[in-house]
Structure 1
Amino acid sequence: MATLTLDRPTAATPRPERDARKRRSVLGTIVLYVVLIAAAAVIMLPFFWMVTSSLKTNNQVFTVPIQWFPDPVVWSNYVDIWAKSDMSTWLRNTLILSVAVTFLQVFTGSFAAYGFSKMRFPGRDVLFLAYIGTIAVPWQAYMIPQFILMSKFGLSNTLWAIIALQAFGAFGVFLMKQYYDSIPEELSEAARIDGLSEYSIWRRIVLPLSGPAVATLTLLTFVNTWNDYLGPLIYLRDRDLWTIQIGLKTFVSQYNAEYALIMTGSVLSVLPIAIIFMLGQRYFVQGIATAGLKG
């Protein structure tokens, strides 16, 4: 005769305790959001002041107490900055350098990273560590030999000097290799069996799967090149070759009392990279979050 066994009822969590735990969870979430909003406001406050100051008169920029909102709004500052400076030339040169350097670093970095990640050859790991180790060497340690080399090649005082020096970057190789390591090796092996060359595997399989990493490298390289001051200062001496950073420094020296126009120029220098970051922030976060994963 079969015996019927009844499971012992488990002790349920008392309702008051569940409600208290839920309230603590909600309260912790609210506190976290309040802290994050406050931190974001503190970080964005200088940028907000810069934008509003670009729409003020000179006397209103440094008033005490601070006048956060311009009254009246001086839109003419964004017209005067173009008339009193070579803003179009500065922006054009900076855009040329940023686009060229970004394209070359993404191309060379992703191509070299494929070799370090998906190909097997003697000394690969040692060569990769030696190449990545150059990140720890400050640029100031070898900028004089670089300048002498560019001068001997006749590239000094040209945009080509900046492009040639920044076309390769160890950080880009490191970032792309970490992402390539997360792509299953079976895809490359299957492509080799089908007769694809290593270049075709990189171009047709690995690179299309690396969108977040490419977007991350593109964004970081573009921002760094756009904001670079020391490199253009060393190599670009003619006024028609100046970038936005050198041009603004000269503008500040020439119009040191035109505070509103200085803020206007600063806004124009920050606006392009702010737009690019907002458009690519989703891929940037995804690329940073997954670059260290292993497949």
Structure 2
Amino acid sequence: MSDRVPATSAVGPKRSHTAIHVVLIVGSVLMVLPFFWEVSTSLKTYAESISVPPTIFPSSPVWKNYTDVFATLPFGAQFLNTVIMTVARTVGQVFFCAAAGYAFARLEFPGRNAIFIAFLSVLMVPSQLFLLSQFQLMQRFGLLNTVTALALPGIFSAFGTFLLRQFFLQLPAELDAAARLDGCNPFQVWWKVMLPLAKNGMLALGILTAIWSWNDLLWPLVVNNDPEKMTLSAGLSTLQGQFLTNYPVLMAGSFLASIPMIVLFVMFQKNMLEGIASSGIKG
């Protein structure tokens, strides 16, 4: 009896792999196309940016569009505001969500499940509904047109708490018992044992928070109207006029504003994907 495998048996998997690669390539092109169009438009003249049919490549790159961004906007001040807001929100969310997530996952206290369900109910409410109350709070605190107002409401997150709670639930319960036998109190267990093990989950939350904060537009527009206190997203939105928009300058500013997040994601994408995968959340 022959042990040879028929040559046709590998045709099915090969076709399946080819189809998967085709789908991935098409998806990649669709994802990269808007970014390519942004870079291409940032090097066009205004006439080329509004021409019909559209001009794919600029006839001659106009690098002046990038210098015009700095002449039109207080780009440096807005960049610094965005960095401060992003760092404050990221550090705040990682710290508070790690503490709350650990408490909901590992500590026993009266009403824990009821409180957690109430906490998660925040995710069911559109964030826009909180704008008025948050604005009134910032107004009463005298924080309007300040960098503090940009960051303060964003240092808490129900999603971040849920994400890290799921991560802490995956860790063996024996770790808590062993740490307590060594004389650790609950804070020491969290700080010295759990946080180092939750590094990937915290890093994933940190990257997601940083990207969300960097791109946040609505809240910075509501709370600050001084150009020197705006973020990059809010400042770039002011370049859109009612009757005329200088698209090349707008795209040049958008490209400059996106560079830090691209670098951040490239550097930490592996850790972010590992953190989300190990959290037990499936998409």
- Shorter-chain TM-score bucket reads over 0.9
SS in structure 1 opposite 2:203?
helix
Alpha carbons of structure 1 residues 120 and 269: separation in structure 2 relative to 1, 3 Å: same
Rg bigger for which structure? Answer: 1
1:1-295 correspondence to structure 2 within 5 Å = 15-16=5-6, 19-253=7-241, 256-292=244-280
SS in structure 2 opposite 1:67?
coil
Task: Give 1:120 deviation, angstroms.
Answer: 1.2
Task: Give 1:264 deviation, angstroms.
Answer: 0.3
Alpha carbons of structure 1 residues 64 and 232: separation in structure 2 relative to 1, 3 Å: same
Tell me how far apart the structure 1 counterparts of residues 99 and 204 of structure 2 sit (CA, whole Å): 16
Alpha carbons of structure 1 residues 256 and 203: separation in structure 2 relative to 1, 3 Å: farther
Task: Give 1:241 deviation, angstroms.
Answer: 0.6
Q: Which moved more, 1:151-160 or 1:22-31?
A: 151-160
- The Cα offsets for residues 191-233 of structure 1, whole Å up to 9 and x where unpaired, read as 1110112222222211111122112111111111111111111
Task: Give 1:74 deviation, angstroms.
Answer: 2.3
Uncovered stretches (5+) of structure 1, i.e. residues with no partner: 1-10
Alpha carbons of structure 1 residues 146 and 269: separation in structure 2 relative to 1, 3 Å: same
Cα RMSD, aligned residues only: 2.0
Task: Give 1:65 deviation, angstroms.
Answer: 4.3
Uncovered stretches (5+) of structure 2, i.e. residues with no partner: none
Task: Give 1:108 deviation, angstroms.
Answer: 0.4
SS in structure 1 opposite 2:198?
helix
Alpha carbons of structure 1 residues 146 and 258: separation in structure 2 relative to 1, 3 Å: closer
TM-score (norm 2): 0.92
Q: 1:278 is aligned with what amino acid?
A: V
Q: 1:8 matched to which residue of 2?
A: none
Task: Give 1:26 deviation, angstroms.
Answer: 1.4
Task: Give 1:256 deviation, angstroms.
Answer: 3.3
Task: Give 1:14 deviation, angstroms.
Answer: 5.8
- The Cα offsets for residues 251-274 of structure 1, whole Å up to 9 and x where unpaired, read as 222893422111101112222222
Q: 1:253 is aligned with what amino acid?
A: G
Tell me how far apart the structure 2 counterparts of residues 60 and 175 of structure 1 sit (CA, whole Å): 46
TM-score (norm 1): 0.89
- Any conservation in 1 of the 2:98–2:161 contact (CA below 8 Å)? yes
Q: 1:149 is aligned with what amino acid?
A: L
- The Cα offsets for residues 4-40 of structure 1, whole Å up to 9 and x where unpaired, read as xxxxxxx777632xx2121221121022101110111
- The Cα offsets for residues 98-127 of structure 1, whole Å up to 9 and x where unpaired, read as 111111011000011111111111211111
Task: Give 1:240 deviation, angstroms.
Answer: 1.3
SS in structure 2 opposite 1:272?
helix
Q: 1:7 matched to which residue of 2?
A: none
Q: 1:185 is aligned with what amino acid?
A: A
Q: 2:160 is aligned with what amino acid?
A: G
Identical-pair percentage: 36
